[in-house]
Amino acid sequence: MEPWSGIADADAHLGRPVPLPKATLPLARWVEVHAAGERAVEIEWNLDDTRDGSVGRLALYAGEAPPEERPWDVAVEQVELGGEQAEHRVVPLEEAEPPLKPAHELRWRLDGLHLRLTAQGPWRIEDLLAIGASVG
């Protein structure tokens, strides 16, 4: 498969515009856009983590089918995301660099799509919920 040139390729693969966050995100060093299965895409923001306490990464999966389940043996917490229910879980990732731990995962549905927001670093859950609620 040819490397994608940007979000228009993701729109074509998904068969509709990819929902994106409207919230302001931290400064990105680079962004990768790629297929994550049939009619599924993932956008990865690799963030500038050069300042102490910075977060390192954010990724958004959007697909007609749910994303593959990660082997994270942690409890799932139900949270409210923009007036809807979502699932949240956190993995410590002790071996990772500080800007990449812990890892958070939010999963919900929107307009017939399965969405998963994965965030690595010292994110506040309030900030992740605001980013998730802004996706559309």
Please say if the pLDDT value at position 59 is more than 90: yes
pLDDT at 5: 86
Q: How far is CA 23 from the centre of its chain?
A: 13
Could you give the residue ranges of the DSSP H alpha helices within 1-136? 7-14, 125-134
pLDDT at 1: 62
Give the mean pLDDT of 52-73. Answer: 96
Task: State the amino acid at position 128 in one-letter form.
Answer: L
Would you place residue 107 in the very low, low, confident or very high pLDDT band (cuts 50, 70, 90)?
A: very high
Q: Which fold has domain 7-134?
A: Protein Transport Mog1p; Chain A (3.40.1000)
Measured in Å, how far apart are the chain's first and last C-alpha atoms?
Answer: 27
Domain boundaries, the chain: 7-134
pLDDT at 115: 98
Please say if the pLDDT value at position 79 is more than 90: yes
pLDDT at 3: 75
